Amino acid sequence: MSHDISSDINTKAGFVAVVGRPNAGKSTLLNWLAGEKLAMVSKKAQATRKRMNIIVMYENAQIIFVDTPGIHEKERLLNRFMLHEVYKAVGDCDLILFLAPAKDRLDHYRKFLEINTKKRPHIVVLSKTDEVSDEYLLKKINEYKTYQDRFLALVPVSVAKNRGKEELLKQIVKHLPSSAWLYDPELLTTSSIRDIYKEMIRESIFDNVSDEIPYETDVVIEKIDELPGLDKIEATIVTEKKSQKLILVGKGGTTIKRIGRDARIKMEQFSDKKIFLDLFVSVKSGWSKNKKTLGEMGYHFD
């Protein structure tokens, strides 16, 4: 009789890609599951630009979630990079969470099924269930059930109402491969402090300026001096146009001060250190349409 080696391992571990349309609630879901604010979140769509691993320990399992940008089709090179990030995450994972707000029509799900060409196993997560009635939710669940031969499980959740967490984690663990843990169980993310601080500044930009500016802006962390109890950070906000720079700075520097203060508060909460943040704004026309400048911002096609 053959001996199944996996039965000797009593731990589980694996990569779980979290995908869905922009604004579906992916990053919010992961912060909630981790119990820590790690990924940037915004009311505005297309907030996440790059994959981010968020590690959650549950029972005997190490779940390495991969937050991804929302699935959308825009021609600009930065947007193509974002879609490339989704494909990478889907191609490299053990399991996918497809996340859709309960209100959504199933078009996004059908689109996802097309993208999942390698037919990786997936769980459907219905998010923001607090936005619909029980009756509506039941109707929606039945619509998804017409596809039940395609998914492993369907789990409704609401972060706002703190509902569905245990059920979701149990379903994920059930479908993870047996494996030794892949990272130190204390680790929350594989992102560098540089990337986390960058996202905190980007989140503050999304919160404080409107129209196209958040989409035509990015952040470069120039320098971090890590001292005992204090991080000194220099960062540049890069934008496309002079007029956008003027808005980002604001009258008498009020807007840039607000962005800086909001970001500093997030950084201090995260690192438990005092933060000195020096923010500059520079204009680099065409940065989001050029492979080289995208690379300089940390967006490498690989």
Determine the Cα–Cα distance for residues 174 and 14; give it in Å rounded to an integer: 11
Q: Does 68 bind Mg ion (CB under 5 A)?
A: no
Q: For ligand GTP, what does the binding mask look like between residues 52 and 71, x meaning CB under 6 A?
A: -----------------xx-
Tokens at residue 135, please? 């009756």
Quickly list DSSP for 213-225. GGGGEEEEEEEEE
Q: Does 45 bind ligand GTP (CB under 6 A)?
A: yes
Tokens at residue 145, please? 């059930």
Nearest to ligand GTP of 43, 119 (CB atom): 43
Nearest to ligand GTP of 199, 240 (CB atom): 199
Q: Does 127 bind Mg ion (CB under 5 A)?
A: no
Burial class (CB within 10 angstroms; exposed 0-12, middle 13-18, buried 19+) of 254: exposed
**Residue range at the interface with Mg ion (CB under 5 A); choices 6-14, 39-47, 86-94, 202-210:** 39-47
Q: Which of 18, 25, 27, 49 binds Mg ion (CB under 5 A)?
A: 27
Nearest to Mg ion of 48, 255 (CB atom): 48
Q: Which of 23, 31, 46, 48 binds Mg ion (CB under 5 A)?
A: 48
**Residue range at the interface with Mg ion (CB under 5 A); choices 18-26, 123-131, 203-211, 280-288:** 18-26
Q: Are 98 and 83 in contact (CB under 8 A)?
A: no
Determine the Cα–Cα distance for residues 208 and 152; give it in Å rounded to an integer: 40
Q: Which of 79, 116, 158, 171 binds ligand GTP (CB under 6 A)?
A: 158
Tokens at residue 206, please? 């999304």
Q: Does 288 bind Mg ion (CB under 5 A)?
A: no
**Residue range at the interface with ligand GTP (CB under 6 A); choices 35-43, 134-142, 219-227, 277-285:** 35-43
Strands ordered across the beta sheet of 217-227: 217-227, 230-239, 274-283
Q: Are 125 and 168 in contact (CB under 8 A)?
A: yes
